Amino acid sequence: MPLIGVFQNFFNNGHERTVKAKKNILGLLFLKGTSIAISFLLVPLTIHYINPTQYGIWLTLGSIIGWFSYFDVGFGHGLRNKFAEALANSNAKEARIYVSTTYFSMSAIMGVVLVLFLAINPFLNWANILNADQNMSSELGVLALIVFVFFCIQFIFQLIGTIMTANHDPAKASLIQTLGSLISLIIIFILTKTTQGSLLYLGIVLSTVPVVVLGAATLWFFTASYKQYAPSIKFFRFQYIKDLLGLGIQFFIINISVLIMLNTDNIVITQLLGPEKVTVFNVTYKLFTMISMVYIIIGTPLWSAYTEAYTKGDFNWIKNTLKATQKVWGVLTGLTVIILIISPWFFELWLGDSVQVPFSLSIAMSTYVVGYIWMNIYTFLLNGLGKIRLQLYVSISAGIIYIPLVIILGKVWGLEGITYLSTFFFVTTGIIYSIQVKKLINNSAEGIWGR
Question: Angle at which helices 199-222 and 170-194 pack, to 10 degrees?
Answer: 150
Q: Is the pLDDT of residue 69 over 70?
A: no
Give the residue numbers spanning the domain of 263. 2-450
CA–CA distance, 362 with 385 (Å, rounded to integer): 35
pLDDT value of residue 149: 93
Q: What is the pTM of this model?
A: 0.74
* Those residues with Cβ within 8 angstroms of residue 76's Cβ, 6 or more apart along the chain or in another chain: 102, 106, 159, 162, 248, 251
**What is the H or E stretch that residue 349 is in?**
helix 315-351
Q: What average pLDDT does the structure give for the chain? A: 88
Cα Rg for the chain, rounded, in angstroms? 22
**Measured CA angle at 51 (ends 48, 52), to 5 deg:** 110
pLDDT class for 189, splitting at 50, 70, 90? very high
Which of 85-94, 349-358, 366-375 has the highest mean predicted lDDT (pLDDT)? 366-375
Q: Is the pLDDT of residue 122 over 50?
A: yes
User: Is residue 231 within 8 Å of residue 91, measured between CB atoms?
Assistant: no
Mean pLDDT of the region 152-164: 92
* Domains in the chain, number: 1
Report in angstroms the alpha-carbon separations of 55 from 21, 148, 200, 372.
37, 18, 11, 26
CA–CA distance, 347 with 282 (Å, rounded to integer): 12
CA–CA distance, 1 with 221 (Å, rounded to integer): 37
pLDDT class for 16, splitting at 50, 70, 90? low
CA–CA distance, 145 with 16 (Å, rounded to integer): 47
Give percent above pLDDT 90 in the chain: 51
CA–CA distance, 176 with 243 (Å, rounded to integer): 29
pLDDT value of residue 443: 80
Pairwise pLDDT comparison (426 vs 304), residue with the higher score = 426
Residue 276's closest CA among 354, 338, 199, 342?
354
Give the DSSP letter string of 190-213.
Answer: HHHHHS---HHHHHHHHHHHHHHH
Give percent above pLDDT 70 in the chain: 93
pLDDT class for 145, splitting at 50, 70, 90? very high
pLDDT value of residue 15: 63
Residue 264's closest CA among 280, 248, 278?
278
CA–CA distance, 57 with 279 (Å, rounded to integer): 9
Question: Angle at which helices 92-120 and 159-166 pack, to 10 degrees?
Answer: 150
Pairwise pLDDT comparison (367 vs 294), residue with the higher score = 367
Identity (one letter) of the amino acid at 62? G
Mean pLDDT of the region 212-232: 95
User: Is residue 150 within 8 Å of residue 213, measured between CB atoms?
Assistant: no
User: Is residue 383 within 8 Å of residue 368, measured between CB atoms?
Assistant: no
Specify the 3-state DSSP secondary structure of 274: coil
pLDDT class for 336, splitting at 50, 70, 90? very high
Mean pLDDT of the region 22-28: 76
User: Is residue 271 within 8 Å of residue 131, measured between CB atoms?
Assistant: yes
Q: Is the pLDDT of residue 293 over 90?
A: no
pLDDT value of residue 7: 46
CA–CA distance, 431 with 371 (Å, rounded to integer): 10
Torsion sign across C-alpha atoms 283, 286, 289, 291: negative
CA–CA distance, 354 with 280 (Å, rounded to integer): 10
Number of H helices, E strands in the chain: 16, 0
For residue 198, which phi and psi values (nearest 5 degrees)?
Answer: -145, 120
